Amino acid sequence: MSSTPQRLHPEQVAAFLERIGITGPLKPDADFLHRIHSAHLHAVPFENLSIHLGEDMSLDVQALYEKIVTRHRGGFCYELNGLLAVVLEGLGYRVHRLSARTFSAERGFSAPMDHLVLRVVDNAGESWLADVGYGRHTVYPLRYQDRTDQRDPGGLFRITEYEDGELDVLREGEAQYRVDPRPLALSDFVPAMWWQRTSPQALFTQSLICSMQTEGEGGGRVSLSGRKLIITDADGGRQEKELASDEEVLAAYRELFGFALTRVPHVRAGTVMGNGVD
């Protein structure tokens, strides 16, 4: 593990909770963790817009705070789970930052450090797998030690054991990612984030995505992929609309996701638009 962990001031922790619409009592128990997890998904978008806007990106905690809390932006796993980890530590939870390898049917499991997830220990000593940086996933954290089916508004999940202590997270019986249980520092993910934001092979350099959980706990989402607005509901319903003008795109970011952009992001030249997470 590298470097001394970064911290937030108590007033910054309070501002973060206000950002996601959470009030006290601030007790580091399982119930409060569930509230924070769900509220985060409903308030902070999963997005990769900084890559295509040419914005500086950093895993420095103060930079993450400024982006997500002050500017009301979102981010992807290293940013979202990275800042959440520090907030939870400020509230009294113990948090381990873990590497995960994401899975797709086309390529199998990715390289290590492709994803960041959190093991959170509450004040009763129970461990939870928390993840607010994976797009469509669980609404609530999963019981880390449980190897049975865990029902969540986002689907039916199960954590299974692989080799050498690694854990596979399944959704509806299909692998989502494989977790390495060895704790890391947030700074250990800096090279992986650099690859995600610069490599032509990375999904995030090939696509634009901004996506967030909609009201309620049934798994609905609203997503903007380039100019395509996608709204899904918990029952599998899906609506798509192509936004015709830059004004409509900027209004969608402002009205649906809660932040203002001065210009419309576009995928860099030479890359292919993907669907992202919807």
Q: Which residues contact 116 (CB under 8 A, 6 or more apart)?
A: 77, 78, 81, 82, 97, 98, 99, 100, 133, 186, 189
- Catalytic, 210? Answer no
Q: According to the 3-state scheme, what is the secondary structure of 148-198?
A: CCEEECCEEEEEEECHHHCEEEEECCEEEEEEEEEEECHHHHHHHHHHHHH
State yes or no: is 164 an active-site residue.
Answer: no
Q: How far is it, in rounded angstroms, from Cα 50 to Cα 53?
A: 5
Q: What is each CA distance from 181 to 117, 136, 204, in whole angstroms?
A: 10, 22, 25
Among 122, 131, 180, 278, which one carries the catalytic annotation?
131
**Catalytic: which of 37, 52, 77, 210?**
77
Token pair belonging to 142: 């999963």
> Distance between CA 106 and CA 203 in Å, rounded?
13
Task: Report CA Rg, the chain.
Answer: 18
Active site residue 29: no
Among residues 37, 40, 52, 115, the one annotated as catalytic is: 115
Catalytic residue set: 77, 115, 131
